[in-house]
Amino acid sequence: MKCFLVRCVFIFAMLQRSVRQTAASPDTELNCCEGDILLLLDSSGSVTTSEFSSFLTFTASLLHPFTLGRGHVRVALLLVGTTPHLEFSLDVHSNQESLLRALQSVNQQQGDTNTKAAIEVAQRLLSDTDGDVPKVLLWLTDGVQTGDVEEAMSELKARGVYVLIVYTIHGNHRVLQRVATPPLESHLYSVDMESIDIITDDLREAIIKIIRAERLSVGRLTSHSAVLQWRPVLADDSGHYELSYKAVDDQRSEKTTVLPSSSSQAELTQLQPDTTYTASLRPESNQQLHSTLSVQFTTLPDVLSPAEVTLSDPGPRQVRVSWGPLQPDRVQRYTLEYGAIPSGRVHTVDVSNQKSSVFLRNLEPGTRYLITVSALHRDGKEAAMSVRACTQEEARPALTDLRLTLTDRLEGNEVQASWQTNTEGLKGYWVSWERKGSQNSQSERSLSTAYLPPSPPSVRLAYLAPNSQVCVSPVYSSGRGDGICCTAKTNGG
């Protein structure tokens, strides 16, 4: 247990020191590459604790400058032992801090050196990845007990995987040189573990040559523009880029521009819609010869604003109208027209070419509207699009309280009705009660109704029938709200 603790502290210290040294180096590659690196690390009992620690330290230093994650460099670690052990897969680590913590926690497996079984696992791992990116298997081993690996490694290389090997000076050189991918001078390294760091730069450069992403791609495309992107291949102030582009059907349309060495993208504007273009990027440098990158793309069909109109923030008396795409360089002004269906008054709103939405207010609740957004373009063209909107029904709050007070105690058939409700949007009240019949027909009762204004919230009712039902309901523009009914305890009941 004590040896294990000492080894962990030793690995941690070595890794931290390695990262500090690499971070201090000015020759760091940040955004140069895209590819998958599978580390095949010998973790068997034939590897000493010191060698295993040195391999981990070396790995941290080797990989530290790379940008990690999908679209950049992905790293996986597979340990060789009696049974292969996948320490982490390709999509686990997207930054250097996460990778360093993982390397600090790796434990040696010990056991037999079953490299062949580990290579079979590596074949499955790398066959499931994106076939368009380069793949590297970096085998870190003492090279003493290689096993029968030549056939498995040949199959791996046949699938396009580059095999690079770092092994100790005691390793079986004849077997390993047949396994590594040529050229051997940059892909096969025999090292004294105490000075393994001297090969770091050379091996990293060999990996960079394999996974350097030298391609020109289209990042964003519209009907009249395209953004071209590439990974920098020129050092600062060491040259420039020459970018040329032209329509495939019009060779005379070729244009060329010069960009500084720090550039990594360029926007092409004033392109023709639905047109195929070719573009080429030639890095120019006195220090190194670089390949010319090229790409072909087709601009989108022309879209005249407004191409879409959407509605949001609906309410009983409001709605927001939005449209797109916003084209201030092509549109002179927008006009919005709206009116109630089928024959409401048409309202017009002029809108700046810098705006893409209008908030309509003071609409009628529960009403269908026809809304049209039109654009006058600078070239004289006009485009319009219409949508139908329906405002929400206005809220109809219920009556909250109804009280009946006897006002004619002598006759006992007159009451004062008073009530409470929400007055917002209120148009009035609908009141109903039962009136008693004539003196000759005391048993006859008749229903009386009345529509009252919003104020005051009370009314005096006379000649009520015994135990008459008095009902009051609030009335809004959208209809009648829930009311309250009470029984009037009048004389004769």
Sheet strands side by side (includes 276-285): 250-260, 239-247, 276-285, 293-298
Task: Tokens for 473, please give them.
Answer: 């309901």
Count Cβ atoms within 10 A of the Cβ of residue 427 and give its class: 0-12 exposed, 13-18 middle, 19 or more buried: middle
What is the predicted pLDDT for the residue at 110?
86
Question: What CATH architecture is 216-299?
Answer: Sandwich (2.60)
Q: Write the pLDDT tens digit of every residue in 27-44.
A: 444 567 889 999 999 999
What is the predicted pLDDT for the residue at 107?
92
Lowest mean pLDDT among 13-22, 109-118, 132-141, 305-314: 13-22
Average pLDDT, the chain: 85
Q: Write the pLDDT tens digit of every residue in 466-477.
A: 888 999 999 987
What is the predicted pLDDT for the residue at 368?
94
Q: How many C-beta atoms surround the C-beta of residue 181 within 10 A?
A: 20
For residue 12, is pLDDT > 50?
A: no
Lowest mean pLDDT among 8-17, 87-96, 328-337, 438-447: 8-17
CATH H-level superfamily of 399-487 = Immunoglobulins (2.60.40.10)
For residue 7, is pLDDT > 60?
A: no
What is the predicted pLDDT for the residue at 76?
94
Radius of gyration of the chain (CA): 41
Q: CA nearest 431: which of 464, 394, 396?
A: 464
For residue 65, is pLDDT > 50?
A: yes
Mean pLDDT for 293-322 is 90
What is the predicted pLDDT for the residue at 340?
94
For residue 24, is pLDDT > 50?
A: no
Domain ranges of the chain: 35-213, 216-299, 308-391, 399-487
Q: 35-213 and 308-391: same fold?
A: no
What is the predicted pLDDT for the residue at 144?
72
Mean pLDDT for 353-372 is 93
pLDDT band at 1 (very low <50, low <70, confident <90, very high): very low
Q: Write the pLDDT tens digit of every residue in 116-140.
A: 999 999 999 888 776 678 899 999 9
Q: Is 35-213 assigned to CATH 3.40.50.410?
A: yes
Mean pLDDT for 257-262 is 90
More confident residue, 71 or 179: 179
Q: Is 308-391 assigned to CATH 3.30.499.10?
A: no
Mean pLDDT for 184-202 is 92
Omega within 30 of 0 (cis) for the link into 316:
no
For residue 279, is pLDDT > 70?
A: yes
For residue 427, is pLDDT > 60?
A: yes
Lowest mean pLDDT among 20-24, 351-355, 385-389: 20-24
What is the predicted pLDDT for the residue at 131?
62
For residue 350, is pLDDT > 90?
A: yes
For residue 20, is pLDDT > 70?
A: no
What is the predicted pLDDT for the residue at 19?
46
Share of the chain above pLDDT 90, in %: 46
Handedness of CA 325, 328, 330, 331 (dihedral sign): positive
